[in-house]
Amino acid sequence: MDFAKLKQVIFITLLGSITFLFLYIMKTFAYPILWAAIIAGLFYPISSWLIKKLHAPNLGTTITLVLVFLVIIIPITFVGSLVVNESINLYGSISNNRSEISSSLQTALAWVQHNPYTSRLNIDQDMIAQKFGDAAQYITSYLIMAAKNFTQNSFVFILMFVIMFYTLFFFVRDGAGFLRALMHLCPLGDTHEKLLYNRFTSTARATLKGSLIVGLIQGTLGGLMFWLAGIQGAMIWGILMVLMSTIPGIGSYFIWLPAAIVMIIIGKLWIGVAMILFGALVIGTIDNILRPILVGKDTQMHPLLVLFSTLGGIVVFGISGFVIGPVITSLLLAFWEMYEHAYRKELNKN
């Protein structure tokens, strides 16, 4: 190996090592940086227009951040406070009505045992009651642990939020310059780099837009359905449905379907049937119609890929995975598209 190649190998090795160390240092702040990049991309049309119109980057960026605060931060904070209050009220209601709940459970189990269609199941009332007791104990301990963890980690959450908002300011103001510098250093070529950037922004925008719109509609209708059915904590169930709707196709079913089955078991047959019909024909149809229009079209992904990438992203990355999963899948498809374009002649020969 001549000296020039040796220098090149040493340089690339050092560059890769230092880059790895830098990324390792920054991994703690990966989520704040990622969300700052996503929000900056979402508000880029507004921020770029304001900066050009006002001829003042700092002022335009500040106005954009105020809009972000009004449109995203305040609603999330408001919804979070509602979830906490509704959870406390629901927990108190369950604690104060244990005897009534136990009586309803025994009545439902007795109905199941004496029903000619279900009596053959040989259901053990004591076992079912014990399982429900274990489930209640688990939920109670989970709520206590969640409250404890939130209290202990509130400082960390606030710190990460401040870092995200601080990073967002520079991404909004200087994001175009950052992007030009990255594209200049990236060896893939302008065409491929623009393709990757467009896939990243379009997928993140479509996923957030689709999940937000579909989730709000499903959560509102679901909460209204729970309220009309006389189920306590209708608001928190609606909010949970908004969160679960990030799972395409099946997310909302995890909330309303068990509730409908419970209503049937405790003897409120027509209410349970009405909930099943409304959930399947109205709430489920909204997901099947709107999500492909809002998400699948912009992401250029098959609905099955959207489903599995969302589920896998949530499992690996937590709640942020409902965006990260589809983005990674979209970038993978973009790389395969680049591969197909580069080797089209050879592939056609085969």
- Domain spans in the chain, listed from the N-terminal domain onward: 30-172, 186-344
- How many Å apart are CA 312 and CA 306, to the nearest integer? 10
pLDDT digit string, tens, across residues 166-191 = 999 998 888 878 877 777 777 777 77
Q: CA-CA distances (angstroms) from residue 96 to 91, 93, 190, 221, 294?
A: 9, 5, 65, 28, 44
| Lowest pLDDT segment from 20-24, 33-37, 129-133, 165-169 | 129-133
Query: Does pTM top 0.75 for this prediction?
Result: no
Angle, CA of 49, 53 and 59, to the nearest 5°: 90
Position with higher pLDDT, 240 vs 60: 60
pLDDT at 342: 72
Please check the confidence at residue 152 and state whether its pLDDT lies above 70.
Answer: no
- Closest of 239, 250, 241 to residue 303, by C-alpha: 250
The amino acid at 128: I
> Ranked by mean pLDDT, which of 104-108, 158-162, 189-193, 228-232 comes out on top?
158-162
- How many Å apart are CA 24 and CA 263, to the nearest integer? 51
| DSSP string across 34-97 | HHHHHHHHHTHHHHHHHHHHHT-HHHHHHHHHHHHIIIIIHHHHHHHHHHHHHHHHHHHHHHHT
Please check the confidence at residue 102 and state whether its pLDDT lies above 70.
Answer: no
Retrieve residue 98's tokens. 């244990």
> Ranked by mean pLDDT, which of 111-125, 222-236, 282-296 comes out on top?
222-236
Q: CA-CA distances (angstroms) from residue 51 to 68, 104, 336?
A: 16, 62, 36
- pLDDT > 70 fraction of the chain, expressed in percent and rounded: 71
Q: CA-CA distances (angstroms) from residue 245 to 37, 146, 206?
A: 23, 22, 15
Please check the confidence at residue 136 and state whether its pLDDT lies above 60.
Answer: no
- How many Å apart are CA 261 and CA 276, to the nearest integer? 8
What is the pLDDT confidence band of residue 263, given thresholds at 50, 70 and 90? confident
Average pLDDT score over the chain: 76
